[in-house]
């Protein structure tokens, strides 16, 4: 949690002024019991109504000044807390973007969402309340005790006994609840994960009539979270009644001692009233402090969880600021030099000793069964994952030597799942290239076979797309994601099974348009359909992470059993008759 305080560095003035004005407010509040004492002992006892009115006006003035100080303090504390949370949220979001695919897979989407929202909000509330009350409440408690000594030393000894007892209770509860609040937030992660899974997969759940099972699973996780919250709540709830009991015991002792001293003429009635007021102030402030500590416990637990994420070192380190190379003169656009890949926590390699050289402008087809490592292989090019053995080169330069921005500016990636963002079609296309011209956008739409989608909409490029492109068909989403990759005119184009929702004619027209581009990119086509890669310059056949065949369609159909099995399963009518060569 301490490391997060760096985000308050731009709000040093606010973090000083907020407690300062709260201390001023507290100082004025401590004078009020003395004013009441004077009203009772001087004004009322002497029958001086003018004095009573004058002292009442003094009380009003103290209250107004205190109110102005309180409002000022809350303004500064709120400004610091909101600014702190904004900076932290930006930093955390930026840090999460720098993590590798394997790290984000391990953390989990629901956990990252909880850290970005609930946890940061808890920390923001904690910072706000600490600036307002963390110094004010102890100042009132000890200030009231000191002021009590100025009234009467013997009666003030009761304060010396009461305050340590209250401190033991408050800090004892705090030590018990801090680890429990961490468990509560972890339980919230689980509930959020189930909720997110249900909302994103609601159609599948309904299709298989699994509503009752999902409701039961959610209920179980939710009840577990409820029980944890109730348990920690019960411990926190002990604080208020115990503090009330201790303070009320102190009040009884104070009245008893005060009554005896008044009867003996040692104390005045006004002095006893001021002592009781100070004890009441202590009670109120300790209740505030108890609630503050509960809030701070939550904030510290959430802050530690956020800090854990921020301490994660990105596995993919940024390379040089710029690589001086002329890609057009490089012999190979991409080289896989005996690379292997093992995912964190996995026992076996996902890719084993892949050795492949791809010339500029070639089209490479990658095919294989489910889980054979097709997507893993092409994800090594833009360094979404890091090869555990061997070297991946782009334009003859190891990808580790590139700055990530420079490397990925050379590559257009169309992911396996077509993802569009809420906004206009133009907004989504400009993600590929922020300063793309109308001509570049038009050309990308034509090549990706998306022009008819845009032309068929009354608003054209300004047509609104809902989140995840839910108002478009699967094929339309895929074509627009391809257009987004093409708008930057990349040197390397990666199509990761991105034509699965396209009909055969559109798929063929897309591949033909890519081959006829002015600057033909090096294309990697990952596909389950043999038809999509038949005319590739080279086809790589993967089986359980190994390249079991490399060559043209004709060569593989002659020499590679795995490719034969895939091809003939899709074109059974072309399978040679038994005994035919």
Q: Is residue 176 part of a domain?
A: yes
Q: Which residue has the tokens 């003169």?
A: 329
* Share of residues in the chain with pLDDT > 90 (%): 24
Q: Is residue 279 part of a domain?
A: yes
- The residue ranking higher by pLDDT, 199 or 94, is 94
**Average model confidence (pLDDT) for the chain?**
85
Structure tokens at 337: 């030099």
Question: Length of the chain, please?
Answer: 581
pLDDT tens per residue, range 373-399: 898 899 999 988 888 899 999 998 899
Q: Which domain holds residue 122?
A: 10-310
Helices 153-200 and 211-237, axial angle in degrees (round to 10): 170
Nearest CA-CA partner of 542 in 389, 411, 329, 356: 356
Q: Is residue 509 part of a domain?
A: no
* Share of residues in the chain with pLDDT > 70 (%): 97
Q: What is the CATH number of the domain that holds 34?
A: 1.20.1560.10
Structure tokens at 513: 């348009």
> In the β-sheet with 397-398, what is the strand arrangement from edge to edge?
351-359, 332-341, 389-394, 397-398
Nearest CA-CA partner of 292 in 161, 140, 147, 160: 140
User: Is the distance from CB of 385 to CB of 426 less than 8 angstroms?
Assistant: no
Q: C-alpha angle 436/440/444, rounded to 5°?
A: 115
Q: Which residue has the tokens 């089209």?
A: 363
Spatial neighbors of 372 by CB under 8 A, at least 6 apart, are: 542, 543, 544, 545
Q: Is residue 511 part of a domain?
A: no
Q: Is residue 338 part of a domain?
A: no
How far is it, in rounded angstroms, from Cα 191 to Cα 58? Answer: 55
pLDDT tens per residue, range 508-560: 888 889 888 888 899 999 988 888 888 899 999 999 889 999 999 999 988 89
The 10 Å Cβ neighbour count of residue 242 is: 18
Grade residue 150 by pLDDT with cuts at 50, 70 and 90: confident
Q: Is residue 571 part of a domain?
A: no
Provide the β-strand partners of residue 393: 335, 398
Give residue 577's pLDDT. 63
**Buried-exposed string 341-354: b where 16+ CB fall within 10 A, e elsewhere:** bbbeeeeebbbbeb
How far is it, in rounded angstroms, from Cα 336 to Cα 393? Answer: 7
pLDDT tens per residue, range 236-293: 778 778 877 887 888 888 888 888 888 887 888 888 888 888 878 877 787 787 778 7
Taking the mean position of all CA atoms in its chain, how far away is CA 501?
Answer: 32
Q: Is residue 566 part of a domain?
A: no
Provide the β-strand partners of residue 540: 366, 550
Q: Which residue has the tokens 């959610």?
A: 218
Arithmetic mean of pLDDT, 191-199: 80
How far is it, in rounded angstroms, from Cα 523 to Cα 542? Answer: 17
Give residue 581's pLDDT. 47
- The residue ranking higher by pLDDT, 203 or 436, is 436
pLDDT tens per residue, range 451-494: 888 888 888 889 998 887 888 888 888 889 999 999 988 999 99
Helices 239-263 and 153-200, axial angle in degrees (round to 10): 160
Q: Is residue 460 part of a domain?
A: no
How far is it, in rounded angstroms, from Cα 329 to Cα 423? Answer: 40
Taking the model in full, what pTM does it have?
0.71
Q: Tally the domains of the chain.
A: 1
- The residue ranking higher by pLDDT, 176 or 553, is 553
């Amino acid at each position: 949690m301490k490391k997060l305080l760096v985000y308050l560095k731009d709000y040093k003035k606010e973090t000083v002024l907020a407690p300062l004005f709260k201390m001023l407010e507290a100082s004025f509040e401590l004078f009020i019991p003395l004013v009441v004492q004077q009203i009772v002992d001087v004004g009322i006892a002497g029958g001086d109504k003018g004095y009573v009115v004058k002292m009442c006006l003094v009380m009003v003035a103290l209250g107004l000044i205190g109110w102005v100080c309180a409002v000022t303090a809350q303004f500064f504390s709120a400004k610091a807390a909101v600014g702190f949370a904004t900076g932290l949220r930006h930093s955390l979001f930026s840090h999460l973007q720098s993590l590798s695919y394997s790290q984000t897979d391990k953390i989990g989407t629901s956990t990252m969402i909880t850290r970005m929202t609930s946890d940061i909000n808890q920390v923001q509330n904690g910072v706000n309340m600490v600036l307002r009350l963390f110094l004010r409440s102890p100042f009132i408690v000890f200030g009231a005790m000191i002021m009590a000594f100025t009234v009467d030393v013997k009666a003030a000894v009761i304060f010396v006994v009461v305050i340590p007892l209250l401190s033991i209770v408050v800090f004892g509860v705090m030590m018990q609840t801090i680890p429990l609040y961490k468990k509560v937030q972890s339980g919230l992660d689980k509930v959020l994960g189930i909720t997110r899974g249900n909302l994103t997969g609601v159609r599948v759940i309904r299709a298989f009539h699994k509503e009752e099972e999902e409701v039961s699973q959610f209920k179980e996780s939710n009840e577990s979270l409820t029980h944890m919250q109730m348990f920690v709540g019960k411990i926190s709830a002990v604080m208020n009644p115990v503090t009330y009991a201790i303070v009320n015991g102190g009040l009884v002792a104070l009245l008893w001692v005060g009554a005896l001293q008044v009867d003996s003429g040692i104390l005045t009635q006004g002095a006893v009233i001021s002592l009781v007021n100070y004890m009441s102030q202590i009670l109120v402030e300790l209740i505030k402090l108890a609630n503050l500590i509960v809030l701070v416990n939550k904030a510290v637990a959430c802050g530690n969880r956020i800090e854990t994420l921020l301490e994660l070192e990105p596995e993919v380190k940024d390379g040089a600021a710029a690589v001086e190379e002329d890609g057009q003169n490089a012999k190979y656009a991409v080289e896989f030099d005996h690379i292997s890949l093992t995912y964190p926590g996995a026992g076996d390699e996902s890719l084993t000793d892949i050795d492949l050289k791809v010339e500029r402008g070639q089209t490479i087809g990658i095919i294989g069964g489910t889980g054979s490592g097709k997507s893993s292989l092409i994800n090594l090019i833009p360094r979404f994952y890091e090869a555990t053995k061997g070297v991946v080169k782009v334009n003859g330069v190891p990808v580790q030597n590139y700055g990530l921005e420079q490397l990925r500016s050379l590559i257009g990636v169309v992911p396996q799942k077509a993802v569009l963002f809420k906004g206009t079609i133009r907004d989504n296309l400009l993600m590929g290239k922020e300063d793309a011209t109308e001509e570049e956008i038009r050309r990308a739409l034509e090549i990706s076979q998306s022009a008819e989608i845009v032309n068929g909409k009354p608003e054209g490029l300004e047509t609104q797309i809902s989140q995840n492109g839910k108002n478009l068909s699967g094929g339309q989403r895929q074509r627009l994601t391809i257009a987004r990759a093409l708008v930057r005119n990349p040197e390397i184009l990666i199509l990761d099974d991105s034509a699965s929702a396209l009909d055969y004619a559109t798929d063929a027209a897309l591949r033909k348009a890519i081959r006829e581009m002015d600057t033909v990119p090096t294309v990697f086509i990952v596909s389950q359909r043999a038809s999509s890669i038949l005319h590739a310059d080279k086809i790589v056949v993967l089986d359980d992470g190994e390249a079991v065949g490399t060559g043209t369609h004709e060569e593989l159909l002659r020499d590679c059993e795995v490719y034969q099995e895939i091809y003939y399963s899709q074109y059974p009518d072309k399978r040679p008759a038994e005994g035919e060569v």
